[in-house]
Structure 1
Amino acid sequence: MATIRARKLADGTVSYTAQIRIKRDGVQVYQESQTFARKQAAQAWVRRREAELDQPGAIERANRKGVTLQDMIKQYLDEMEKVRPLGKTKEATLNAIAATEFGQTIDSDINSQRLVDFALWRMSKEGGGVQPQTAGNDLAHLGAVLSIARPAWGYEVDTHSMGDARKVLRKLGYNMKSRERNRRPTLSELDKLLEHFAGILQRRPSSINMLKVAGFALFSTRRQDEICRILWSDVDEAGQRVLVRDMKNPGQKIGNDVWCYIPDEAWRIMNTMPKSCAEIFPYNSATISSNWAKACKFLEIEDLHFHDLRHDGVSRLFEMDWDIPRVASVSGHRDWNSLRRYTHLRGRGDIYNGWKWLFKIIAAPVVLGARSENKREIQ
């Protein structure tokens, strides 16, 4: 049953409050009201809502309180932590989204319009003034949560909302795709960095051996977290390869174990590491990243990430005329499109042929800090 009541306001105008009450077996099971400036609008709303609520299951859905996006993100982070911790960037991004006003949106209200509004807000001054690519990354991380919210937890999330939102943003002229990096270190930059790290090792021999780590990263094309995870037990001596467990992959990160060939230079570096620990490089990935960033800042080397060593290593192999399957056997890429992003050629041949630092890296002594067999060294 619906009623419409007129109410005179202080300024002399009249508003109309439409109220719907529904009873079953003499018990009120639902109540809803809306206020309108015109009586015709109130009447139209009543007719539409009564028709909607007359559908099977509509009352139950309308009474449902729903779960907030913030709660969904928390549940996602908790569930993923049980399997394997997320990357720090993704975790920080999701927590930041949860803390915004958008984080209080209930599941059934998350649609393409809300997602577009959130992306536009992120690009506005109030939302941080981020680049479209950053807003796109926010949506990508959020999409991982929304993609499993309905099938895994039964939340009322529109499975098409994210795709529709991205289409709208593209139509509005925003390029939400991440920019491909083409940064590679120069020999001069590497000379400065390795000289810097060699000096640190002279002063503190038990500190992280950044000479070995950087050299291995360059010639093996391995990511920094993979370097810290590789075990001696996962080395295939006969095949000159290592098993990289849970290799990063957009479609499968857990259980994506890949055998990767180790080029001669990286193989020689790897075999100079002590075998007193389960891990070949028993260091903390975050500390490696921090040491690299601090060194670049101190040496005034701009915009050079540790991950750029992987770019350099892959590009070098192509410059040496390795074909795609052979390069992929080192990098672990599954397809050419992914591998192409890491390929930025400068010429032909091996620029590291006879490189003085390769011999210094191999000859550098390694002193591991105090640590137990099951505890990574943190410095």
Structure 2
Amino acid sequence: MATIRARKSADGSLRYTVQIRIKKNGAQVYQESQTFSRKQAAQAWAKRRETELSVPGAVERANRSGVTVASMIEAYLREHAKARPIGKTKKATLEAIAKTYLGECEDRSITAQVLVDYALWRMSAEGGGVKPQTIGNDLAHLGAVLAVARPAWGASIEPHAMADARKVLAKLGYRLKSRERDRRPSLEELDLIFAELEKILSSRPTSINMLKVAGFAIFSTRRQEEICRIRWDDLDEPRQAVMVRDMKNPGDKIGNNVWCHLPDEAWTIIKSMPRICDEIFPYNSESVSTAWSRACERAGVKDLHFHDLRHDGVSRLFEMGWDIPRVASVSGHRDWNSLRRYTHLNGRGDPYVAWEWLPKLLASSVKFGDRTLNGLSRRGGRH
């Protein structure tokens, strides 16, 4: 019933295509095919499918028009965009998956074996030679699609296919999760970076005031997307707190609004911003990231992400002797396990005592260019 044919790819590697044909009374009533990079996987899949299709009614169910992975991804991106734009990295990853051979696979053929085979192919030279951590991200994003497709659109997907695939890959020795970063900037590195930011602001006064944005990121522990979303209406002055809208949290982001305390330094920085737009920091978050990366490069500081400032800010609070509930009131974390990965202590006390850049960034003037003013809302309404 099943035949396996090997064919050579352009790079010389072999691919194995399994073709299953079922006939009744001399007429073909069903056929399907699947391609694998390993012969063992092809043989295992063929044997399993033959067993499944021998069950009464299985052929009739199999003849139902299937939904391809590419179609599921397209539907997921379309529906997700209605609630909130999807992240650029996640969107690019899913679109790339849709263009691979996996994108042509139909829902009923998505099993743990197929996913494992895809992961091994991606880590091979033919599939791009990516690292296990990249595969971990790919499977995580694809898993989100499959988790929605099954209950929402009736896709025939094995409920535990993704979880089983990740277990198999872990047993094979592949570390799918990225190592937790413990990178924190030194005061010397920040001095170099802030000097570059000051130069840029001096030559282009209407550019992003990264002195204030970066300083606020350290003292408030806020992410760049959150910083650019904060509005003046989100402040509670008596409590010295800010409403962080749609705060990132596993399984709960849209509508996850959390009140967070602002330490004195962060509050002072906010008070130094002009009340012209509805947003306190009316900048594009991706532009903030780009500006930070360029400043680091010019300063000769390597491997320092803007998000590392959040790590530094949370760790600083612990070094100052704050307890877990008090730190969480600033960072917005709900549990210690999530908060733990942000704490990398370098000692005791506040490393930013008498930090020379705090008065400088507070005194730096803020000028918004026409692009900023036209692209975002002014106080009192949009223009």
Q: TM-score, normalised by structure 2?
A: 0.85
Aligned partners of 1:247, 1:34: CA distance in 2, in Å? 45
1:353 equivalenced with 2:353 (yes/no): yes
On the 8 A contact 1:223/1:310 being kept in 2, the answer is yes
> Deviations for 1:4-36, whole angstroms, at most 9, x for unmatched residues?
xxxxxxxxxxxxx9752379xxxx8x713699x
In structure 2, C-alpha distance between the alignment counterparts of 1:18 and 1:159, rounded to whole Å: 26
From the CA coordinates, give the structure whose radius of gyration is larger: 1
Q: Note the C-alpha offset of 1:51.
A: 4.2
How much has 1:177 moved relative to structure 2? 1.6
Q: Give the secondary structure class of the aligned counterpart of 2:29.
A: strand
Counterparts in 2 of 1:374 and 1:205: CA distance versus 1, 3 Å:
closer
For residues 48-86 of structure 1, the C-alpha deviation after alignment (integer angstroms, 9 at most, x for no partner) is: 68742x33xx34422212111011111111111110111
Deviation string for 1:114-153 (max 9, x for gaps)? Answer: 1111111222222222221121111111111111111111
2:347 aligns to what SS in structure 1? coil
CA distance in 1, matches of 2:289, 2:199: 18
The answer (yes or no) to whether the contact 1:212–1:361 under 8 Å persists in 2 is: yes
Maintained 8 Å contact 2:30/2:59: no
Name the CA distance, whole Å, in 1 between partners of 2:188 and 2:353: 15
Q: Could you tell me how far apart the structure 2 residues matched to 1:356 and 1:229 are?
A: 28
Q: Distance in 2 between matches of 1:363 and 1:199?
A: 15
Give the structure-1-normalised TM-score: 0.86
**What is the count of residue pairs matched by the alignment?**
346
Q: Which runs of 4+ in 1 moved over 4 A?
A: 47-51, 371-374
Residue 146 (1) aligns with residue 146 (2)? yes
1:21 maps to 2:19: no
Distance 1:372 1:286, change over 3 A: closer
Question: Which structure 1 segments of 5+ residues have no match?
Answer: 3-16, 36-43
CA-atom RMSD in angstroms: 2.4
Determine the structure 1 residue equivalent to 2:76: 76
CA distance in 1, matches of 2:53, 2:100: 34
Structure 1: which amino acid aligns with 2:323?
Answer: D
The answer to whether the 8 Å contact 1:112/1:165 transfers is yes
Q: Is the contact made by 1:19 and 1:34 (CA closer than 8 Å) also made in structure 2?
A: no
1:375 offset after TM fit, Å?
A: 2.4
Partner of 2:368: 368
- Distance change (3 Å), C-alpha of 1:324 and 1:18: closer
Matches within 5 A, 1:216-365: 216-365=216-365
Q: Does 1:131 align with 2:143?
A: no
The one-letter code of the counterpart of 2:92 is A
Tell whether the 8 Å contact from 1:278 to 1:373 is kept in structure 2 after alignment: no
Give yes or no for contact 1:284–1:376 (8 Å, CA) kept in 2: no
> What is the one-letter code of the residue matched to 2:335?
D
Aligned residue number for residue 190 of structure 1:
190
SS of residue in 1 equivalent to 2:24:
strand
For 1:351 and 1:299, the matched residues in 2 are separated by 21
Give 1:95 deviation, angstroms.
1.0
- What is the aligned partner in structure 1 of residue 29 from structure 2? 31
Q: Is the 8 A contact 2:196 2:298 kept in 1?
A: no
Residues of 1 paired with 2:114 and 2:51: CA distance? Answer: 23
1:110 aligns with 2:113: no
Distance 1:267 1:226 in 2: 15
The alpha-carbon deviation at position 376 of structure 1 amounts to 3.4
2:21 and 2:246 map into 1 onto residues whose CA distance is 57
2 CA distance for matches of 1:145 and 1:215? Answer: 37
Q: Is the 8 A contact 1:94 1:141 kept in 2?
A: yes
Q: What is aligned with 2:119?
A: 119
Q: Distance in 1 between matches of 2:32 and 2:276?
A: 72
Mapping 1:27-106, distance limit 5 Å: 31-32=29-30, 51-52=54-55, 54-55=56-57, 58-106=58-106
What SS is found at the alignment partner of 1:31?
A: strand
